[in-house]
A and B are shown apart, each in its own frame.
Chain A
């Protein structure tokens, strides 16, 4: 079985400070990992993904994420937060070894609030 945990319901950070949104996963095989962002009344927007290769993945809007196999984590980071980054962030995992048709298994989401 595959699962994703986002341990924080909300993360608060001041504008200009670095931000981290945490994600841990559990899969039976090598994971495909994704981050999506959701703004109010809008669908999910793709930020970045890890399939294989370099553990540090760079994505849209200055975000990056680091894949850590030993800690089974894929935390989302940004060096300097913007107020416009305030949104709901979802981590998702896909286990290519499963027979679930490559569906994404999402975490419950973390609300990021960046204050001026």
Chain B
């Protein structure tokens, strides 16, 4: 089966610009996660969806980050405006259920100048 797809793979922007990342989970997976991985650290959860509803967004910087999963399949994560400290790899993961193994996409590497 196809894995988790993410695009773009790389993005370079200047601070205060906006950027959006796209994720397509494994077919049939109801749960979708967005993680931020800063260089030298483990991934940190930003937001978790169950179908099109938000389960946990407690660590999402809501003043600049937003995410949606309107039809319960694809998801988009947006940053507006970007800051230098947002430079990181943004990983999308999906699982068949809320307590099941998470499978990760290749990530989007963001560099904010």
Contacts and interface: CB of A to CB of B under 8 A. Distances in A.
A46 B42 contact: no
Contact of A101 (B44, B55, B101, B109): B55
B41 to A, nearest CB: 6
A103 B106 contact: no
B38 to A, nearest CB: 10
B42 A103 contact: no
A116 interface: no
B2 interface: no
Contacts of B19: none
A96 B101 CA distance: 13
Contacts of A42: 106-107
Interface string B79-111: 000000000000101000011011111110100
Contacts of A108: 40-42
Interface residues of B, number: 26
B56 A100 contact: yes
Interface in A3-45: 4, 32, 34, 36, 41-45
A104 to B, nearest CB: 6
Nearest to B4: A43
Given A41-B106, A46-B104, 20 more contacts: A4-B42, A34-B101, A42-B106, A43-B4, A43-B91, A44-B43, A44-B104, A46-B102, A100-B56, A100-B58, A101-B50, A101-B98, A102-B48, A103-B48, A104-B102, A106-B43, A106-B44, A107-B42, A108-B40, A108-B42
16 contacts: A4-B42, A42-B106, A43-B104, A44-B43, A44-B104, A45-B104, A46-B101, A46-B103, A49-B101, A90-B43, A94-B99, A100-B58, A102-B99, A106-B42, A106-B44, A109-B42
Q: Which 4 A-B pairs have the closest CB atoms?
A: A106-B42, A101-B56, A43-B104, A101-B55
